[in-house]
Each structure stands twice: as structure tokens, then as C-alpha cells.
Amino acid sequence: MSGLEEARGLVARAERIAVLTGAGVSAESGIPTFRGPGGLWRNFRPEELATPEAFRADPRLVWEWYDWRRGLVAAARPNPAHEALARLEARRPSTVLVTQNVDGLHEAAGSRAVELHGSLWRLRCAGCGDVGPDRTVPLRPLPPRCACGGLRRPDVVWFGEALPEAELGRALDAARACDLMIVAGTSGLVQPAASLAGAAAARGVPVVEVNLEETPGSAGFAVRLRGRAGEILPQLLG
């Protein structure tokens, strides 16, 4: 039996599926991943830009990167990976889709994803904390300011910051309650998201990994499907 057939059997028998997605799921929509080829912007690593320290030191530089990413995403459409997951959710309402992506492409495909790392499409005032939607592309002037005079920042989670409590709680609940977990397009290097699949696997729950390559967690996963998420997920989920 091939890995794909085995994984399809697991999906057919599962009652509560949890899915964790990462940047690889949006790669086929033309959004660069964080790590690997094409993951750099003007020779900066995401770790150098996605931090509160970087924003304090040079808010304009950090905003230029986010403004560039907002422009890319605004021009992008969900791909067959997002669509297959949205169909799964519609067919099986007990499915919980958790994403590390901040691009909103799961929602655009019709999913109600738990956004663990926030959203590019909300701004938060670093001064008064006010949060609101903003889809303006490009944003000018950079950095944008709040009515209170404070600097607005993307409402995303940066390195060294805590994840939003409600979303993290929903993700942990899903990892504890699922009887199958699918992990797609994530390097599994960023905590605590990366620990969700490990926690499910430690309970004896099968984990199906969809990725171009091996990841640090691969060895603990029941089925490893190598290839593009936009090709494999539609075959896996029907």
C-alpha cells in the first residue's frame, strides 16, 4: 500500500481531524516561505525583522518588509491546497484547521482557520493597543500611525512574543482531541506550533505530514507524503 493510500484510509476512518499548516501551503500561491530558497528579503532573515526589537530600532524597515508581503498576498489567490482543506472542513465540521500563516488565504478559500500567528490584515497600535482591520496596499506613510500618535504595527506574533491566548487554547484543545493530525507545509522549527503534532503523536494519534522534504519531526509521524501540498492535499482529501 502506498503512503497516499494509507493516509486516505486514515482520513476515511478519522472522526476528529486537526490540521496544522505553514508557509509551504501558500507557496504555490506565490508567497515565499520563510526558510529555504527565496525566503530572504533584501538579505534580511525573517528572524532579524519579525521582532519587537527590530521594530523599535527601525519601524520603517520592518514595515517595508510587511508592506511588500501584503502586496504579494493581495495579488495572490488560494491554491488547491487551501481549497481541499476548505472542502474537508465543510464536509466534516469537527475538523479544526490551525495555521501559522498570516496571509488570510485559508479564509479566502472559505475556511475558518485558527490563526496562531495573527494576521497581516489587522494593524495594532504599539501605544494604545487598538486593533483594527486594514487592507490598504501599499500602506502610506510608513510606518502608519494611530490617532493616539503611537506607531501601528502588523497584528502578528513576532519572535519572543506570546501567542494569542484564545487561539493557542483552541489549537491545544484540537491537538488533544483529534484522532488524526495532518501537518502540511511547515518546517516544524517554530514553537509552540511545532509541538502540536508531537503532542498528538505522543498520544498515539497518527500524524500525516505533507512536505517537500523531511523535517525534524518527520521520524515520529505515521505517514510522510513528499511533494507539493497543492497536489497532495486534493488527492488525500478528495
Residue 175: all three cell numbers together: 491537538
C-alpha–C-alpha distance, residues 191 and 199, integer Å: 12
Contact map string, positions 42 to 81, toward ligand OAD, x by CB under 6 A? ----x---x-------------------------------
Minimum Å distance from CB 162 to ligand OAD?
Answer: 11
Note whether 33 binds ligand OAD by CB under 6 A.
yes
C-alpha–C-alpha distance, residues 99 and 223, integer Å: 20
Pairing relationship of beta strands 180-184 and 152-156 according to DSSP bridges: unpaired
Binding window for ligand OAD (CB under 6 A); candidates: 5-13, 54-62, 125-133, 181-189 = 181-189
Least Cα distance to 114 among 101, 123, 124 occurs for 101
Note whether 148 binds ligand OAD by CB under 6 A.
no
Note whether 24 binds ligand OAD by CB under 6 A.
yes
**What is the DSSP secondary structure assignment for residue 219, as one 8-state letter?**
G
Q: Is the peptide bond before 234 cis (omega within 30 degrees of 0)?
A: no
Residue 157: all three cell numbers together: 506574533
Minimum Å distance from CB 24 to ligand OAD?
Answer: 2
Binding window for ligand OAD (CB under 6 A); candidates: 16-24, 68-76, 90-98, 169-177 = 16-24
C-alpha–C-alpha distance, residues 86 and 81, integer Å: 9
Task: Kindly give the interhelix angle for 229-237 and 80-91, rounded to the nearest 10 degrees.
Answer: 20
Is 82 one of the annotated active-site residues of the chain?
Answer: no
Question: Which one of residues 78, 104, 144, 185 is an interface residue with ligand OAD (CB under 6 A)?
Answer: 185
Binding window for ligand OAD (CB under 6 A); candidates: 60-68, 103-111, 142-150, 205-213 = 205-213
One-letter amino acid for residue 152 of the chain: R
- Binding region for ligand OAD (CB under 6 A): 22-24, 27-28, 33-36, 39, 46, 50, 100, 117, 157, 185-187, 189-190, 210-213, 215, 228-229
